[in-house]
Amino acid sequence: MIYHLVPKAEWDARPDRPYAPASLGEDGFVHCSPDEATTLAIADAFYRAAPRPLLAVLLDEDRLTARCAWEPADPAPPPGVPGSVLFPHVFGPLDRGAVTRVLEVRWDENGSAAQLTTLGTCP
């Protein structure tokens, strides 16, 4: 499973279509993360000011139609993530049929990403 962070309103905007965030056009791929700890570190480093609720969608890499490549962070991983961690980059829109679970980022009293809680499962 790979994780992708997205504000709920953005994820829900076009539920009948594959999801294509701005990074797909800007960077040529969709940024994803390999595990829960890395996902929380990314949320904490880059999504503190993002609209809430913030979701983490879990994707079955085998059910994606776009190519997924595991690559090092460029220029560097977020604080708390070792430099050896590879990140899944999806080179096309995210197929909603590849989503297995939807999680919500929970924030602590200091505004840090603290945990992921389950919102639902998908077939």
Average pLDDT, integer, range 40-54: 96
Average pLDDT, integer, range 69-93: 95
3-class DSSP state of 104: strand
Torsion of CA 10, 15, 21, 24, to 10 degrees: 180
Average pLDDT, integer, range 12-20: 95
Instruction: Residue 71: name the closest of 62, 60, 83 by CA.
Output: 83
Given this model, what pLDDT does residue 7 score?
97
Q: Residue 119: is its pLDDT beyond 80?
A: no
Consecutive H or E run containing 112: none
Given this model, what pLDDT does residue 74 score?
85
Q: Residue 120: is its pLDDT beyond 60?
A: no
The model carries a pTM of 0.93
Q: What are phi and psi of 82, to 5 degrees?
A: -60, 150
Q: How many whole angstroms separate alpha carbon 1 and alpha carbon 18? A: 18
Residue 77: cis peptide before it, omega within 30 degrees of 0: no
Two tokens, residue 116: 């992921």
| Structural domains of the chain in order of their starting residue, each with its CATH number | 2-121 (3.20.170.20)
Percentage of the residues of the chain whose pLDDT score is greater than 70: 97
